[in-house]
Amino acid sequence: MPVNTIKVQRECIDITGFTCNKCKKTYSVDSDEDSFGFGEEFDDMHQIDFVAGYGSPFGDGMKVSATICRWCLYDLIKEFAHIRENGYNA
């Protein structure tokens, strides 16, 4: 079965750093202050971005966004997250 495709040109944005909204720590391309190496920290930046639905505790139709580092995400969801080995081949 043939696949229909369209060519889309998109603009690339280079992210040079971020600040975790929970712990307020700033990570940047030039930063190497942690013992894990900057690349690992920067690769595990998590962006949450959604519009709250009807009856949401955030408020109906409110835009909600957060940037969270790996350690704060772990702290937030460790009690209820489903964690499996080999997540890339699931």
Q: How far is CA 6 from CA 1, 2, 13, 47, in A?
A: 16, 13, 22, 27
Q: What is the pLDDT of residue 48?
A: 94
Q: What is the pLDDT of residue 42?
A: 66
Domains of the chain, residue spans: 17-80
Q: What is the pLDDT of residue 73?
A: 94
Distance CA 72, CA 18 (A): 14
pLDDT in tens, 31-43: 555 544 455 666 6
Specify the pTM. 0.66
25 close to 44: Cβ distance less than 8 angstroms: no
Query: What HEC string does 54-67 produce?
Result: CCCCCCCCCEEEEE
Q: What is the pLDDT of residue 84?
A: 83
Q: Which residues of the chain have pLDDT under 70?
A: 1-2, 30-43, 87-90
